[in-house]
Amino acid sequence: MLRIYDTRARQVEEIAAGRALRMYVCGPTVYRYAHVGNLRTYLLSDLTRRVLERRRTRMLVCQNITDVGHLADDGGEDKVLAQARAEGRSVAELARFYEDAFVRDTAALNLRPPEHMPRASEHIDLMIELIAKLVEQGNAYTVPDGSVYFDVRTFPTYGEISGNRLDSLKPAHRIDAVDPRKRFHADWALWKPGTGELSWDAPWGQGFPGWHVECSAMSLRFLGSRFELHTGGIDLRFPHHEDERAQSDAAAGHEVVRHWVHGEHLLFDGRKMAKSTGNVVLLSDVTSAGLDPLAVRMAFLEHRYRQQMNLTWDTLRAADRTVRRWRTRVAEWSESPSAPMALDYVKRVEAAFDDDLDTPSALRVLRELERDDGVAPGAKFETFLHVDQVLGLDLSTDIGKARVLPAGAGELLEARARAREAEDWTAADRLRDELAEMGVRVSDTAEGQSWQ
């Protein structure tokens, strides 16, 4: 049984996984490239999925694409619209460009694609319907300019995820935090008036949805009114997930999400990854440095998902060496006689996975297995590939690669074979040395010469 830390419950809880389990993942806002800090969050949902699927649980995952409604500092201009203007593109062109880049990056990290990946801009009708229901129930109210706000005081358990209770919340210094149109300073916009490329007609006037209401509307539509898991970065606990929970639960009349799970921040060289500090590292930067993109995944696996991590280039290079070494070892072990998996090691690795996704402990067990001379190579091969179904490091990549000789080496091997037949051992030794300089190691056996 997978046990994972539930942010709302503030403790590790068992995930009651039956034959099927539904999970919602807060997806990207597609106005720029995702950096490796963003991508770490999505590894959390991928690991959760892989561990549960190894337990024969069928996963149904929804991960949204935010291409409207995410305003800078909860006020001002839509981030997608502002970036589209800066790059001289239409909103649709910009959003699809960065959405495609995100999909490529997640594929390079072996993150399994969700069953549903709805775009906010294509589901405005769901949001309007949800907002109308909240207004009708008295959980939301309209103001003369066409804005609609959620009345947070109608949701008494607000703050259970983050601990930010209403009686302790103070007005922030953001643009709309002290908006006189609000009944209470912590109310937030479900709909905002607006015109132009990112605006739609609604009962309250032309405008666009708030960021928080998008996730409520799409999760309820694609996963239903009750689902087991909701994941995201730790920065989304407040206000995004608090607001989303209030909207969804108010509309459904009950608790919609059973477990809220969050991944911690990623630092790079000891600093928060941010464009303003010039500290942003993209996956393309990693590959441009000659590293395998799965070195990033390996580096992330060396730390618990809810542990703040400081990534460095040295860390990435070390992870790259480990991935390449394990692929080489797996390829070598594949040539040995088949043997059953090393079950003691398998049980220890799977116990680590089930213990709140303790991937560092799982990797330590694998390193111990790698060094254990008492385990047959064939058993190591089977075990590493079994565990790699969760690790996702493509450890079988080097198996079956064709052996390609350097240019001219084939002719030297033929010449050496002829020299051996003629018992010209001096020439045979000289040719072996020449081949060694080319990176070809020649061995003599009873059946003739062989090479690597």
Joined together, the tokens standing for residue 142 give: 């309209």
How confident is the prediction along the chain (452 residues), in pLDDT tens digits per residue?
899 999 999 999 999 877 899 999 999 999 999 999 999 999 999 999 999 999 899 999 999 999 986 775 555 678 888 888 899 998 899 999 999 999 999 999 999 999 999 999 999 999 999 999 999 999 999 999 999 999 999 999 999 999 998 888 877 644 444 678 899 999 999 999 988 888 999 999 999 999 899 999 999 999 999 999 999 999 999 999 999 999 999 999 999 999 999 999 999 988 888 777 778 999 999 999 999 999 999 999 999 999 999 999 999 999 999 999 999 999 989 988 889 999 999 999 999 999 999 999 999 999 999 999 999 999 999 999 999 999 999 999 888 764 566 778 878 888 998 888 888 989 988 998 888 888 788 888 766 787 77
3 state DSSP class of 141: strand
Structure confidence at residue 198 (pLDDT): 86
Q: What is the number of alpha carbons within 13 Å of residue 174 lying toward its C-beta?
A: 14
User: Dihedral angle at the C-alpha atoms of 360, 363, 365, 366, nearest 10 degrees?
Assistant: 180
Which residue has 């015109």 as its token pair?
195
Using alpha carbons, select from 19, 20, 2, 24 the residue that is nearest to residue 258: 24
∠ CA 307-313-314, nearest 5°, is: 85
Helix axes 377-391, 313-333, angle to 10 degrees: 140
Annotated ligand binding at 370? The verdict is: no
Query: Cα–chain-centroid distance for residue 320?
Result: 18
Please report where in the chains the tokens 């942010």 appear, as a residue.
7
Distances from the Cα of 408 to the Cα of 276, 430, 432, angstroms? 53, 15, 13
Is 70 known as a binding-site position?
A: no
- The Cα–Cα gap between 126 and 283 comes to 34
Please state, in angstroms and rounded to a whole number, the distance separating the CA atoms of residues 134 and 150.
Answer: 8
Mapped onto helix, strand or coil, the DSSP state of residue 110 is coil
**DSSP structural state of residue 423:** T
Q: Helices 36-54 and 294-301: crossing angle, nearest 10°? A: 70
Q: Which amino acid is at 452?
A: Q
Q: How far apart (Å, rounded) are the C-alpha atoms in residues 20 and 91?
A: 37
- Residue 219's closest CA among 194, 189, 196, 247? 247
Strands (E) across 65-168 are located at 140-142, 148-150
Q: pLDDT at position 72, please? A: 58
Q: What are phi and psi of 265, to 5 degrees?
A: -70, 155
Choose the CATH number for 3-263 among 3.40.50.150, 3.90.1200.10, 3.40.50.620, 3.90.1170.50: 3.40.50.620
Both tokens of 425, joined, read: 């051992």
The predicted structure's pLDDT at residue 96: 96
How far apart CA 337 and CA 331 sit, in angstroms, is: 13
E strand or H helix that includes residue 125: helix 124-137
Is cis: bond before 113, omega within 30 of 0?
no
pLDDT for position 172: 60
Could you please state the CATH topology (level 3) that the domain comprising 290-391 is classified under: Four Helix Bundle (Hemerythrin (Met), subunit A) (1.20.120)
> Is 62 marked as binding a ligand?
no
Q: Quick one: pLDDT at residue 116?
A: 98
**CB-neighbour burial class of residue 112 (10 A; exposed 0-12, middle 13-18, buried 19+):** middle
Token pair 């009873």: residue: 446
Q: How far is CA 393 from the centre of its chain?
A: 14
Domain borders along the chain are: 3-263, 290-391, 409-451
pLDDT of residue 405: 67
State how far the Cα of 448 lies from the Cα of 336, in Å rounded to an integer.
Answer: 21
423: which 2 tokens?
A: 């018992």
CA angle 158, 230, 17 (to 5 degrees): 120
- This prediction has a pTM of 0.86
Write out the two tokens for 301. Answer: 């696996």
Question: What is the three-class DSSP state of 337?
Answer: coil
In this structure, which amino acid lies at residue 377?
Answer: P
